[in-house]
């Protein structure tokens, strides 16, 4: 009819600003974890593959923590997918980790 509006299906409704906000929160959690574990790796003097192994383990721990703290309800409308929660921000977190790791290592073992 002339004045009718089509019915929107509920499975296609996404608020992109809310999804972007939620993914930004996930990124901030990963960045904070990368800073904390980077400081720990630098202070303990881990170098080469041991330091990278700490980042991989810390990333897995953060993913498990995020998975455990999210509501057990459906993530539709909150995130794009489960993979975006578990792996989102991995590369950016790695860059933050390497920066803080080398800074902490230099402060402890080179300057003192």
Inter-axis angle of helices 90-105 and 16-43, nearest 10: 30
In whole angstroms, give the CA distance from residue 30 to residue 50: 20
In whole angstroms, give the CA distance from residue 55 to residue 58: 5
pTM of this structure: 0.80
Under DSSP, is residue 70 helix (H, G, I), strand (E, B) or coil?
Answer: coil
Domain ranges of the chain: 15-110
Give the pLDDT of the chain (112 residues) as one tens digit per residue.
Answer: 555 555 555 555 678 888 889 889 889 999 999 999 999 999 999 999 999 999 999 999 998 888 888 776 667 777 888 888 888 888 999 999 999 999 999 999 988 7
In whole angstroms, give the CA distance from residue 61 to residue 33: 9
């Amino acid at each position: 009819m002339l004045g009718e509006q089509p019915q929107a299906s509920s499975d296609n409704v996404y608020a992109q600003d809310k999804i972007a906000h939620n993914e930004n929160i996930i990124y901030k959690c990963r960045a904070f974890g990368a800073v904390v574990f980077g400081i720990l790796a630098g202070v303990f003097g881990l170098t080469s593959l041991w330091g990278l192994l700490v980042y991989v383990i810390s990333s897995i721990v953060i993913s498990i923590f995020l998975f455990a703290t999210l509501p057990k309800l459906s993530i539709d409308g909150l995130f794009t997918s489960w993979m975006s929660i578990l792996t989102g921000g991995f590369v950016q977190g790695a860059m933050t980790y390497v920066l803080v790791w080398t800074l902490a290592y230099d402060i402890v073992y080179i300057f003192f």
